[in-house]
Amino acid sequence: MTQKPKNTNSTTILVDNIVECALDKKAEKLIVLDVKNLTSFTDHFVICSANTEPQIKAICDNIRKGTPHKPWHIEGYEKLSWVLLDYIDTVVHIFKTEERDYYNIENLWSDAPKKEYTY
């Protein structure tokens, strides 16, 4: 099965859009990891956290409504402790603060170039 070539410009626009939507809902410790040279399944991870389930839901819903495409897959929306939005070239992780500290996935990808954002 052949993969379609990735459009870097549209991926960058999507990442910027996701970051803006997450920060609009006061996402904390938002980072973007550029993993395209480390893995073949995605180009970017967007990782952020929030202290409450309603805030996690608000961040997730704002990203889903504020991006031009629907995520290909959503996981964890029912429990709101770690929500994953899979946009193929970009995977968004929205954590409850304690879950993020526990799993520490950014440490697993510490070789990736990282951008940090604050609201």
Identify the pLDDT of residue 8.
Answer: 58
Please indicate, yes or no, if residue 21 is contained in any of the structural domains. no
Please indicate, yes or no, if residue 6 is contained in any of the structural domains. no
Q: Rg of the Cα trace of the chain?
A: 13
- Taking the C-alpha atoms of residue 7 and residue 10, their distance in angstroms, rounded to an integer, is 6
Identify the pLDDT of residue 9.
Answer: 78
Give the H/E segment covering residue 107.
Answer: helix 105-108
Identify the pLDDT of residue 10.
Answer: 81
pTM, two decimals, is 0.90
Residue listed under structure tokens 């031009």: 68
Q: Are 85 and 40 in contact (CB under 8 A)?
A: no
Please indicate, yes or no, if residue 37 is contained in any of the structural domains. yes
Q: At what angle do helices 8-24 and 53-66 cross, to 10 degrees?
A: 140
Identify the pLDDT of residue 118.
Answer: 84
- Taking the C-alpha atoms of residue 31 and residue 76, their distance in angstroms, rounded to an integer, is 20
Number of domains in the chain: 1
| Domain CATH for 79 | 3.30.460.10
Please indicate, yes or no, if residue 14 is contained in any of the structural domains. no
Helix or strand or coil: residue 71?
coil
Please indicate, yes or no, if residue 13 is contained in any of the structural domains. no
State the residue range of the domain holding 54.
26-117
Q: Are 27 and 48 in contact (CB under 8 A)?
A: yes
Q: What is the pLDDT along the chain (119 residues), one digit of tens a residue?
A: 334 344 457 888 999 999 999 999 999 999 999 999 999 999 999 999 999 999 999 999 999 999 988 999 999 999 999 999 999 999 999 999 999 999 999 999 999 999 999 87
Return the DSSP state at 3.
P
The 44-50 sheet, strands edge to edge? 73-75, 82-86, 90-96, 44-50, 28-34, 114-117
